[in-house]
């Protein structure tokens, strides 16, 4: 697997004796949106932490494989150098600095950049999220859940990443707000930022992505164009909640026959 984008090759991760990822490989081309689907505990968040080099904060370690960006090894860098290389993560659960103002949260995301770069990034996130400009002096903890998610994404964008790692951005949000976040992801991508999206809402994720991977118990079990996976009977049944209508009809008929015999 080669490419100028973000490449994960044969990545294995453990938490002590527990193996969380087993030889996972995937690629996020420049300018693409790629999604990783899977149930809780499949290893999706672990994958993003391994890429962003924040695994050690949860007691995890990479035990094999590598992560490269444009051919450069990321898996040997500290987290701040991964950000400097162009990869930023929005963690699950938003995790904004609740006691700090919105403006200070955004400044925290731009630490290390020059003044002109910070001003350009701030203008970009204010254009994407006008509400954050309106509430610049408000404490982040007083924002709604959807607004906190916007702030978490905006804070990551302040570093002007080429690749954005999004961990469950629609989690816990009302459907309308989830769609607003989805529209924002499209706009971020249209501006040239590639996105690796982990999302429980598989229908939303497959609409956003061009390519998708399915992760089960730490292993990639299925991958392909998002449109093909969204049409897959297995994916539809397991992740989209779509029932096989023929099988359901057969079961209903069999149940009716059993009931008729019981009544007789």
Tens-place pLDDT, residues 78-131: 999 999 999 999 988 778 999 999 999 999 998 666 788 889 999 999 999 999
The pLDDT, as a whole number, for residue 81 is 94
Instruction: Report the share of the chain in percent with pLDDT over 90.
Output: 67
Q: Phi and psi dihedrals of 17, rounded to 5?
A: -80, -5
pLDDT above 60 for 69:
yes
Which comes out higher in pLDDT, residue 211 or 243?
211
pTM: 0.85
The pLDDT, as a whole number, for residue 192 is 94
HSE-CB of 194 using CA atoms within 13 angstroms: 20
E strands along the chain, which residues? 6-15, 18-28, 33-37, 61-69, 72-73, 87-90, 163-167, 194-198, 211-216, 219-225
pLDDT above 70 for 248:
no
pLDDT above 90 for 21:
yes
Burial of 72 (0-12, 13-18, 19+ CB in 10 A): exposed
Which comes out higher in pLDDT, residue 259 or 68?
68
What number is the average pLDDT over the span 148-160?
Answer: 93
The pLDDT, as a whole number, for residue 252 is 54
pLDDT above 60 for 245:
no
The pLDDT, as a whole number, for residue 80 is 92
The pLDDT, as a whole number, for residue 172 is 81
């Amino acid at each position: 697997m080669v490419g100028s984008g973000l490449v994960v090759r044969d990545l294995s991760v453990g938490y002590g004796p527990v193996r969380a990822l087993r030889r996972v490989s995937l690629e996020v081309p420049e300018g693409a949106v790629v999604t990783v689907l899977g149930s809780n505990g499949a290893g999706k968040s672990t994958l993003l932490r391994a890429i962003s080099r924040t695994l050690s904060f949860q007691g995890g370690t990479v035990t094999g494989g590598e992560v490269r960006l444009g051919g450069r090894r990321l898996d040997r860098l500290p987290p701040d150098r991964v950000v400097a290389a162009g990869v930023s993560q929005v963690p699950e659960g938003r995790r904004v600095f609740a006691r700090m103002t919105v403006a200070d949260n955004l400044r925290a995301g731009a630490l290390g950049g020059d003044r002109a770069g910070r001003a350009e990034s701030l203008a970009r996130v204010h254009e994407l999220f006008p509400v954050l400009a309106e509430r610049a002096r408000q404490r982040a903890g007083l924002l709604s859940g959807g607004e906190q998610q916007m702030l978490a994404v905006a804070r990551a964008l302040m570093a002007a990443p080429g690749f954005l790692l999004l961990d469950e951005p629609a989690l816990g949000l009302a459907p309308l707000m989830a769609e607003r976040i989805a529209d924002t992801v499209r706009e971020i991508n249209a501006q040239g930022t590639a996105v690796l999206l982990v999302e429980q809402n598989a229908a939303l994720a497959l609409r956003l992505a061009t390519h998708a991977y399915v992760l089960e118990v730490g292993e990639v079990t299925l991958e392909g164009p998002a449109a093909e996976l969204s049409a897959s009977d297995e994916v539809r049944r397991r992740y989209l909640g779509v029932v096989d209508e023929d099988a359901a009809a057969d079961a209903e008929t069999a149940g009716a026959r059993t009931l008729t015999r019981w009544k007789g």
